[in-house]
Amino acid sequence: MEEPEMQLKGKKVTDKFTESVYVLANEPSVALYRLQEHVRRSLPELAQHKADMQRWEEQSQGAIYTVEYACSAVKSLVDSSVYFQSVEGLLKQAISIRDHMNTSAQGHR
């Protein structure tokens, strides 16, 4: 009869010990310590990622500005096609007048 009683007491002691270890392992200060370790290990990498992202954002902003400037220049060229057509018409008219003057000058000789 002594042995089952001893086993019961042994089981109670081990259960209490297990519960105590579990409580200690999950105590808030231990959790905070683990959190601090995690942050300390991962923070440099996160800071590097942030710096990379900021550099890529700056490069992207520069590229966007360049593209917008190029689009504006192309739009200005398209809008000025009317003026180019006008100049082309005037040049054709001037060439026609020159040719007409050359032929009339040759006729007087």
3-state secondary structure the chain: CHHHHHHHHHHHHHHHHHHHHHHHHCCHHHHHHHHHHHHHHHHHHHHHHHHHHHHHHHHHHHHHHHHHHHHHHHHHHHHCHHHHHHHHHHHHHHHHHHHHHHHHHHHHC
Q: Where along the chain do its domains lie? A: 1-79
Q: What pLDDT score does 28 carry?
A: 77
The count of residues in the chain is 109
Provide the whole-model pTM: 0.45
pLDDT in 10s for each residue of the chain, 109 residues: 578 888 888 888 899 889 888 887 777 787 788 889 999 999 999 999 999 999 999 999 999 999 999 999 999 988 888 888 999 999 999 999 999 998 888 877 6
Residue type, 37: E
